[in-house]
Amino acid sequence: MRKILILIGICVAGYLGTVYTVDRFDKRLSQQRLANANLQNVDDLSSKAFNIMNDNGCQYCHTRNSELPFYAGLPVAKQLMEHDVKLAQNHFSIAEVLANIQQRKPISEVALAKIESVMQDNLMPPNLYLTMHWGSRLSDEEKGLLLDWVKAERLKQHPAGVVSDKFKYDAVQPITTTFPVSATKVELGKKLFHDTRLSGDNTISCATCHPLNKGGVDREDTSIGIGGAKGPVNDPSVFNAVFNIHQFWDGRAANLQEQAGGPPLNPIEMGSTSWAQIIGKLEQDPELHAQFADIYPNGITADTITDAIAEFEKTLVTPNSRFDLYLKGDENALNAKEKEGYALFKENKCATCHVGEAMGGQSFEILGLKKDYFADRGNIKEVDQGRFNATKDPHDIHRFKVPNLRNVALTEPYFHDATARTLEEAVDKMAVYEVGTQLSSDDIDKIAAFLRTLNGEYQGKIMQ
């Protein structure tokens, strides 16, 4: 027995010695990388935030293909690091944050919200990581500095003097952005958005699946296209789509113009056989032909058609919701239940992904981050692969663009597969599968009440 205890003691001492050694090595390696980082002309707060994230090895788990230290292949260390890396990659990549600090570019609002959340909840670095990197535990001063940096970055991205002091640092902001457009292109784009000649049998327009009097969606489980064909996915709203970093649930379109070019030639959506077919029909309209000629030297082409539609869609922004008025200082814009709902929305981490003016559209997140959504639902289809269908990157399996929540009360059913029939059901499922929380029926009711305050104005009227 004595020999066994001695042997265990030697192993433990050896392990702890290895931990101490590798942690010191890790610090030196981090400092070497920092010395090579380009932080010229970066403000002091941003450089300090960079130093904290870099010195404490955030990049080991939160960047892809990171050069891990030599001890990553050692017994015990290997298992611990593999576990941390897998979780970290599912949640968040910090590579863009570090690069944007160096290049003095804006930081993603989702990234800021996620960093803020884990600092407030003392979740980073995780305990498993700290067993191998004792020196990486953040001090209260470092956490406070990162939180101050998040606030400062948010203030850079939103106009001053609009939001009340109570909410000026929130991840969610009122809609204030207007997008510069050509009035003549908007007029033309509006006509084309409602023009059924873009479809093969002259029965389907963009507005068929995105009616502007229904929140920009058709409220079907999946849209009904040419000849009664049903699409594979629930249609997102066209309102406030201009805020999205990419278009479609899987992000296969980089911008509004690319998105506008998809449905006309899709065989189960609008079903035209070619752009030549569409252009041939539009060319026969003298008034439309003249309108194109006045705006575009090349006349009617696939590029000019989609450009005009995209220009119109830039105007589909819906500000001045009751919630926006509340953020701006009108305490009477929301009742007590709705205010509690917003507090619960933030408390339950909804605002780590549903950020900014549109309250979403800024990132791709795994559906089923905390609990396996697709295992519970069953009947997995190709469309359920999400972002992977566009990138073919295994990292993107089951990732979907986070929908924006503006006018969400008007856009049921919810999720890409339309499995949530009501707002309450959507809130409940998101809490379970994305946050790992089972909300009470009272909390669900309050959050849903808050979400119903997000209907904004279109053409001077609150959408209903």
Residues 378 and 401 in one domain: yes
Distance CA 30, CA 60 (A): 10
Do strands 364-366 and 457-458 pair parallel, antiparallel, or not at all (unpaired)?
unpaired
Q: Residue 244 domain-assigned?
A: yes
Helices (H) and strands (E) in the chain, counts: 20, 4
Residues 17 and 148 in one domain: yes
Query: Given 313, 345, 374, which residue is the final one in a domain?
Result: 313
Q: Residue 268 domain-assigned?
A: yes
Q: Residue 176 domain-assigned?
A: no
Query: Given 123, 142, 157, which residue is the final one in a domain?
Result: 157
Distance CA 259, CA 247 (A): 6
Distance CA 121, CA 61 (A): 19
For residue 435, the 8-state DSSP code is I
Strand partners, 461: 458
Residues 280 and 203 in one domain: yes
Strand partners, 414: 420
Do strands 461-462 and 457-458 pair parallel, antiparallel, or not at all (unpaired)?
antiparallel
> Are 450 and 283 spatial neighbours (Cβ–Cβ below 8 Å)?
no
Distance CA 378, CA 32 (A): 49
Q: Name the residue range of residue 333's domain.
A: 322-462
Burial class, 175, CB count within 10 angstroms (exposed 0-12 / middle 13-18 / buried 19+): buried
Residues 18 and 136 in one domain: yes
Distance CA 6, CA 152 (A): 54
Q: Is 6 helix (H, G, I), strand (E, B) or coil?
A: helix
H or E stretch covering 461: strand 461-462
Distance CA 112, CA 351 (A): 11
Distance CA 229, CA 195 (A): 19
Distance CA 251, CA 390 (A): 7
Residues 151 and 192 in one domain: no
Residues 453 and 396 in one domain: yes
Residues 339 and 428 in one domain: yes
Residues 63 and 140 in one domain: yes
Residues 417 and 371 in one domain: yes
Q: Is the bond leading into 126 cis (omega within 30 degrees of zero)?
A: no
Give the model confidence (pLDDT) of 226-236 as tens digits: 999 999 999 99
Q: Residue 138 domain-assigned?
A: yes
Q: Residue 175 domain-assigned?
A: no
Q: Is the bond leading into 75 cis (omega within 30 degrees of zero)?
A: no
Burial class, 230, CB count within 10 angstroms (exposed 0-12 / middle 13-18 / buried 19+): exposed
CATH number at residue 356: 1.10.760.10
Q: Which two tokens stand for residue 6?
A: 């001695």
Q: Residue 411 domain-assigned?
A: yes
**Among residues 269, 313, 357, 365, which one is catalytic?**
269
Within 10 A of 133 (CB to CB), how many other CB atoms are there?
A: 21
Per-residue pLDDT of the chain (464 residues; tens, 9 = 90+): 444 444 434 343 344 344 434 443 344 444 444 444 456 567 899 999 999 888 776 776 777 766 666 666 677 666 666 666 777 777 778 888 999 999 999 999 999 999 999 999 887 776 666 666 656 678 899 999 999 999 999 999 998 999 999 999 999 999 999 999 999 999 999 999 999 999 999 999 999 999 999 999 999 999 999 999 999 999 999 999 999 999 999 999 999 999 999 999 999 999 999 999 999 999 999 999 999 999 999 999 999 999 999 999 999 999 999 999 999 999 999 999 999 999 999 999 999 999 999 999 999 999 999 999 999 999 999 999 999 999 999 999 999 999 999 999 999 999 999 999 999 999 999 999 999 999 999 999 999 999 999 999 999 999 99
How many whole angstroms from its chain centre is CA 216?
Answer: 19
SS3 letters across 254-300: CCHHHHHCCHHHCCCCCCCCCHHHHHHHHHCCHHHHHHHHHHCCCCC
Contacts of 450 (CB under 8 A, 6+ apart): 323, 334, 338, 339, 340, 341, 342, 344, 345
Distance CA 302, CA 297 (A): 13
Contacts of 165 (CB under 8 A, 6+ apart): none
Residues 148 and 17 in one domain: yes
pLDDT at 7: 40
The total number of structural domains in the chain stands at: 3
Dihedral pair phi/psi, residue 200, rounded to 5°: -65, -35
Q: Residue 168 domain-assigned?
A: no
pTM across the whole model: 0.88
Distance CA 14, CA 377 (A): 48
Residues 360 and 225 in one domain: no
Strands (E), 273-382: 364-366
Q: Which two tokens stand for residue 338?
A: 């709705």
How many whole angstroms from its chain centre is CA 75?
Answer: 37
> Are 334 and 342 spatial neighbours (Cβ–Cβ below 8 Å)?
yes
pLDDT at 32: 43
Distance CA 160, CA 173 (A): 12
Q: Residue 177 domain-assigned?
A: no
Q: Which two tokens stand for residue 127?
A: 């305990």
| 322: nearest Cα among 216, 455, 215 | 455
Residues 284 and 356 in one domain: no
Is 269 a residue of the active site? yes
